[in-house]
Amino acid sequence: MDAETLASPSAPAASVAIKTEIVVIGAGQAGLSSAYHLKQRGLEAGRGFVVLDQSPGAGGAWQFRWPSLTLSTVNRVHDLPGMAFSDAVDTSNDTVEAAVAVPRYFAAYEQRFGLNVYRPVTVKVVCQRGERFRVETDRETFSARGIINATGTWETPYIPEYPGRELFQGRQLHTRDYRTAAEFAGLHVVIVGGGISAIQLLNEISQVTSTTWVTRRPLQFRDGPFDQEAGRAAVKLVEDRVRQGLPPNSVVSVTGLPRSPLIEAMEARGVLRRLPMFSEITESGVRWEDGTTQRADVILWCTGFRSSLDHLAPLLLREPSGGIVMGGRLATEVVKEPRVHLVGYGPSASTIGANRAGAAAASELLGTLGVD
């Protein structure tokens, strides 16, 4: 079965495993960057590498973001290697939804470089079979010498356990379920979390209804420019954790939030009145340790995501700490199994980090496999 056949969603299921050198799992920023660099180093799409993606179309997790996240409100979309974002998207119109613009860019990128992403296909499990890996999906089965995993976090939303959560009579949802603030008009919304998404959604929802904002720890707002040196220092803190086999923290957890015009406007409106985390959830709201209560109709959990790695469980990569010991130049190589690289994990869980990680993973994995 060739690359063009694989790229067709109507391709028939294969009765035997399809052999290739490397399987790239995921076609977001990190996966596309990895595929680009594999091709630049001489591998052909199909026999040399296969990119598998479970989404119905190009765009990675971006295609599922809420409509109010536009080019003016998104942090930044970094260019993929070899092609500028502006080559596919009119960046002068900053009202374009990110869920429209980024998929348009990714689709154009896939086409320009002939990456032939195979979708929609869901990887169920990756097992070791002698000197190769068996990659079982809901369609074909693949046999590969190496794996670049770029599944990101979107499919694994995290909601912490709190006493009484199952008793709450209102609505609970996660960031990934959010669409528009208008659906909460007239309801009291408790927003949990201190990341960029929490701030953005708090801003939108607080303009149409009453809100309560809670976080586990006080937020640190960063004044002044965030230069390259500060960025490298922040990423190194995250990198040090994964090199020790500890679960990764988000980069924003060590950088703080920039004091932007949005933050200043929210402060002026009195919206950024942060309360400590409640201790339990009741049928009608939340309660703190001192007995204070707050009635709520909705609890919005902006509590982040975890890496989507369950399909790699048979490889036994995790440490007792729950993390994975990472090595390599940019901490993409799994120390226990150097034929597996994780991109978009730990320090590369950002658009610019994913690009650099894709290059490092492709180069180091080809070296390990003796393809260079």
- The per-residue pLDDT for range 159-187, each reduced to its tens digit, is 999 999 999 999 999 999 999 999 999 99
In a shared domain, residues 266 and 148: no
pLDDT (0 to 100) of residue 38: 97
Would 237 be classed as within a structural domain?
A: no
Higher-pLDDT residue of 189, 239: 189
Higher-pLDDT residue of 137, 225: 137
pLDDT (0 to 100) of residue 214: 97
> Taking the mean position of all CA atoms in its chain, how far away is CA 313?
19
The 10 Å CB-count burial string (b at 16+, else e) for 324-358 is bbbebebbbbbebbbbbbbbbbbbbbbbebbbbbb
**Confidence class of residue 4 from pLDDT cuts 50, 70 and 90?**
very low
Instruction: Please state, in angstroms and rounded to a whole number, the distance separating the CA atoms of residues 85 and 40.
Output: 19
How large is the average pLDDT for residues 332-352?
A: 89
**Confidence class of residue 12 from pLDDT cuts 50, 70 and 90?**
very low
- The answer to whether residue 238 scores a pLDDT higher than 90 is no
In a shared domain, residues 123 and 10: yes
Would 248 be classed as within a structural domain?
A: no
Q: Which amino acid is at 322?
A: G
Number of domains in the chain: 2
In a shared domain, residues 65 and 171: no
Q: Which domain holds residue 197?
A: 165-220+256-301
Dihedral of the CA atoms 165, 167, 169, 175 (nearest 10)? Answer: 10
Would 147 be classed as within a structural domain?
A: yes
In a shared domain, residues 172 and 273: yes
- The answer to whether residue 190 scores a pLDDT higher than 90 is yes
DSSP state of 94: T
How large is the average pLDDT for residues 52-81?
A: 87
How large is the average pLDDT for residues 313-332?
A: 94
In a shared domain, residues 277 and 141: no
Instruction: Please state, in angstroms and rounded to a whole number, the distance separating the CA atoms of residues 96 and 205.
Output: 20
Would 251 be classed as within a structural domain?
A: no
Q: What is the CATH number of the domain that holds 169?
A: 3.50.50.60
Would 236 be classed as within a structural domain?
A: no
Would 12 be classed as within a structural domain?
A: yes
In a shared domain, residues 346 and 263: no
**Burial zone of 205 (CB within 10 Å; 0-12 exposed, 13-18 middle, 19+ buried):** buried
pLDDT in tens, 275-290: 999 999 999 999 999 9
Would 241 be classed as within a structural domain?
A: no
How large is the average pLDDT for residues 88-109?
A: 91
In a shared domain, residues 297 and 312: no
pLDDT in tens, 123-170: 999 999 989 999 999 999 999 999 999 998 889 999 999 999 999 999
Higher-pLDDT residue of 129, 233: 129
How large is the average pLDDT for residues 235-261?
A: 79
